[in-house]
Amino acid sequence: MHEALELRDGEKGRYGGKGVRKAVDNVNAIIAPEVVGADALDQRDIDSLMLELDGTANKSKLGANAILGVSLAIAKAAANGLSLPLYRYLGGTHAHVLPVPMLNILNGGAHTGWQSTDFQEFMVMPIGAGSFAEGLRWGAEVYQALKKVLKDKGYTTLVGDEGGYAPALKTNEEAIEVILKAIESAGYKPGEQLSIALDPAASELYDGESKTYNLRKEGKKLTGPELVAFWSEWIKKYPIVSLEDGLAEDDWDSWKLMTDQWGGRIQLVGDDLLVTNPERVKRAIKEGVANSLLVKLNQIGSLTETIEAVTLCQHSGWTAVASHRSGETEDTTIADLSVALNMGQIKTGAPARSDRVAKYNQLLRIEEELGNTAAYLGRAALKK
């Protein structure tokens, strides 16, 4: 794991060790005395000050959760002080692009306790819609159609961490097949109106000692090049337009092979590989690995560093995808951030569960507020 450290209390008798009293104490005792009274418009300076106070490479002293909480509070205070919505404050007058949603309608992997597929997320992208509102409606209709498809096959329609269904499918490929059937059942054309995006979370499948990927449903272990060949067959066969974490976070050689073969045709998104870290993004760009960044604020732990990573990608011809986490709240910052930076894509779960729907509702409000100036790029969002 290359992410910034979220500081947890480790008290097993309280919230299973996940309490955040230490992080809160760090905000009150260490950060607050230094930032109270500062100008909220000085976002970069305040974020830099907190990084200096922490003094570690992964924010392990104060905690990324402590630093990010203050960082976002500063931005929201500044926006409120100027009577501006957050997306307008952060993005200025040029912020106008609504993201194409990646709707995670079928969950697998660790998010379902390995009861479903080997791969963590199967998503649909409404690339043929004319607006965010229309695209979201298409995705919601496919989500409900998938429920019926699964029921007709005798599968459960219980949901995983991100709201997608978590059926115990017989094979990994069956996940693609039922989604394609759901798209057609909802009255849409796969590959033309809605396409498929995948997040296999391959690091979860990787054995560092043997350097192989364990595909339980397939009953086989694959080397990096063999997994690249596996993905190649799927890409040729199905309307897959985006593949996130198709290889493990430290398997740079296989990532390079995948990028050389498919980087000119589909979006190859780095999540665990890049962890929203500008330095890892710079390395990937230099080495020709991946072509898109998954943007998670708490992976890097400050707003300034997040914006730096996104800007670096956009200036290098990459795409950037705003993203939630599997564990979420109803905070809608990432919705505003996606519009502020004109990312053009967002990944925030199924059209279900309030923590996921909150982001979609915020984007509907932003699109309505922008009116005729709002842009929805559709398929073009996948290319920079």
Q: Catalytic residue numbers?
A: 162, 296
Question: Tokens representing 26?
Answer: 């760090």
How far is Cα 117 from Cα 144, in angstroms, rounded to an integer?
20
Which single residue is written with the structure tokens 């993905």? 231
* Cβ atoms 37, 80 nearer than 8 A: no
How far is Cα 340 from Cα 334, in angstroms, rounded to an integer?
9
* Cβ atoms 111, 121 nearer than 8 A: yes
Would you tell me how many other CB atoms lie within 10 Å of the CB of residue 136? 22
* Cβ atoms 95, 363 nearer than 8 A: no
* Cβ atoms 165, 145 nearer than 8 A: no
When computed from its CA atoms, the radius of gyration of the chain, rounded to whole angstroms, is 21
How far is Cα 265 from Cα 235, in angstroms, rounded to an integer?
10
Task: Give the list of residues 6+ apart from residue 236 with CB closer than 8 angstroms, or none.
Answer: none
Q: How many CA atoms lie within 13 A of 40 on its CB side?
A: 15
Nearest one of 366, 340, 361, 337 to 349, comparing CA atoms: 361
How far is Cα 72 from Cα 84, in angstroms, rounded to an integer?
15
DSSP one-letter code for 99? P
